[in-house]
């Protein structure tokens, strides 16, 4: 794997160093192994959890899982030592609907009246909470990381319409941001042509 020429400061817990080793090669390997595991889990989650869509036959998945997850998990901290983070995510989502009806606003039904919509929402929401309770450690952390990544970059992303929870979107986003950085200076201003500051000679 090609390595970045950038350096980053990290502050792992001593217990992590006991397991991984404290050398730079060991820590690089740990980061890359975890990234590979999260990549697979992120791809799985994109298929397992949904956003609103309509197909050509009038079908509809009414609950926008990812917008709901982003709203509920914003700012929440998770301890890597906890063995079942999926249960914590499920509880947070369940409580958010029970206490503040957070999930309801992310549900849309195109079929039937209010009674039908209520039943559909109950089924959709119950299915989401059940799936969250059943995700393993890596898939739960893939959700957490996706939400954290969104909030770090949300100023440049359309919350509802961009598929920010997918690997393809994240990679494309970083490529675009990298291209922008090449054309800007350290302060975020567009780089000037070295000759652009020189004044034209006075016309005689």
pLDDT at 169: 96
CA dist., res. 12 & res. 6, Å (int): 19
| 49 token code pair | 């959890």
Query: pTM of whole model > 0.85?
Result: no
> Which of 110, 186, 175, 141 has the alpha carbon at shortest distance from 39?
141
Cβ neighbours of residue 121 closer than 8 Å, sequence gap 6 or more: 62, 63, 103, 104, 107, 109
Q: Alpha-carbon distance 86 to 134, whole Å?
A: 7
Q: What token pair was written down for 117?
A: 């919509």
Q: How far apart are CA 115 and CA 100, in angstroms?
A: 21
| pLDDT tens figures, 80-138 | 999 999 999 999 999 999 999 999 989 887 666 677 788 889 999 999 999 999 999 99
10-24, 40-54, 114-128, 182-196, range with greatest mean pLDDT: 10-24
Cα separation, 20 vs 169, in Å, equals 31
- Per-residue pLDDT, averaged over 26-35, amounts to 95
Question: Rounded CA gap, 68 and 93, in Å?
Answer: 8
The answer on pLDDT for 195 being more than 70 is: no
d(CA 125, CA 107): 9
pLDDT per residue over 178-187, tens digit each? 777 666 555 5
Ordered by start, the domain boundaries in the chain are 15-156
Which of 177 and 41 is assigned the larger pLDDT? 41
The number of beta carbons lying within 10 Å of the beta carbon of residue 15 is: 9
Alpha-carbon distance of 183 to 86, in angstroms, equals: 41
Strand-pair partners of 184: 190
Tell me the CA distances in angstroms from 73 to 30, 89, 110, one per residue in order. Answer: 26, 8, 28
Distance CA 62, CA 64 (A): 7
């Amino acid at each position: 794997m090609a390595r970045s020429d950038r350096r980053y400061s990290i502050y792992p817990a001593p217990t992590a160093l006991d397991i991984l080793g404290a050398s730079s090669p060991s820590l690089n390997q740990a980061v890359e192994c975890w990234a590979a595991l999260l990549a697979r889990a992120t791809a799985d989650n994109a298929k397992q959890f949904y956003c609103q869509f309509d197909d050509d036959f009038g079908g509809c998945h009414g609950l926008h899982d990812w917008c709901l997850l982003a709203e509920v998990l914003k700012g929440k901290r998770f301890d890597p030592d906890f063995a079942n983070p999926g249960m914590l995510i499920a509880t947070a989502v369940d409580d958010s609907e029970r206490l503040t009806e957070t999930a309801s606003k992310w549900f849309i039904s195109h079929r039937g009246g209010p009674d039908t919509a209520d039943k559909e929402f109950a089924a959709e929401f119950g299915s989401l909470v059940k799936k969250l309770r059943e995700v393993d450690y890596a898939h739960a952390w893939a959700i957490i990381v996706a939400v954290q990544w969104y909030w770090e970059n949300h100023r440049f992303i359309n919350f509802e319409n961009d598929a920010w929870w997918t690997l393809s979107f994240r990679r494309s986003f970083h490529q675009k941001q990298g291209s922008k950085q090449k054309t800007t200076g350290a302060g975020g201003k567009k780089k000037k042509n070295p000759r652009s500051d020189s004044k034209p000679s006075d016309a005689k």
